[in-house]
């Protein structure tokens, strides 16, 4: 059940990043959380599938925010 909650949260955040006009505004909240779950000393995501989903979310975030930044230039 807990994995399902985390999986749903990752999917929702991915949808959010895709849909908002300025996803870079969420970076101060999103990146520390991902860093903690992916490689923090105190908390580490135990489910391999969720770690993969988080890396994909991180990749999506980088691609989306870099695209937004290029449009601004």
More confident residue, 42 or 11: 11
Residues 6+ apart with CB under 8 A from 32: none
Q: Report the pLDDT averaged over residues 64-73.
A: 66
CA atoms 66, 68, 71, 73: torsion sign: negative
User: What is the distance between the alpha carbons of residues 45 and 15, in angstroms, rounded to a whole number?
Assistant: 21
pLDDT for the residue 69: 58
State the Cα angle at 18 between 69 and 68, rounded to 5°.
Answer: 10
CA diameter of the chain: 44
Q: pTM above the 0.85 mark? A: no
User: What is the distance between the alpha carbons of residues 45 and 58, in angstroms, rounded to a whole number?
Assistant: 15
């Amino acid at each position: 059940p807990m994995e399902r909650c985390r999986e749903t949260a990752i999917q929702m955040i991915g949808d959010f990043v895709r849909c908002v006009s300025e996803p870079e505004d969420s970076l101060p909240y999103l990146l520390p959380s991902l860093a903690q779950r992916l490689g923090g000393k105190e908390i580490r995501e135990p489910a391999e599938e969720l770690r993969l989903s988080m890396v994909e979310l991180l990749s999506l975030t980088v691609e989306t925010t870099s695209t937004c930044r290029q449009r601004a230039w």
